[in-house]
Amino acid sequence: MKDLYQVIKTIRLSEKATVLGETLNEYVFNVDPRANKLEIKQAVEKIFGKSVVGVRTMNYAGKKKRERRADFGRTNHWKKAVVRLKDGEKIELA
The domain locations on the chain are: 4-64+72-85
Task: For domain 4-64+72-85, give the fold.
Answer: Alpha-Beta Plaits (3.30.70)
pLDDT of residue 69: 77
* Alpha-carbon gap, residue 13 to 72, rounded angstroms: 29
The number of beta carbons lying within 10 Å of the beta carbon of residue 85 is: 21
For residue 90, give the 3-state DSSP assignment: coil
pLDDT of residue 1: 65
Question: What is the full per-residue pLDDT of the chain (94 aa) written as tens digits?
Answer: 678 899 999 999 999 999 999 999 999 999 999 999 999 999 999 999 999 999 999 999 999 888 777 778 899 999 999 999 999 999 987 6
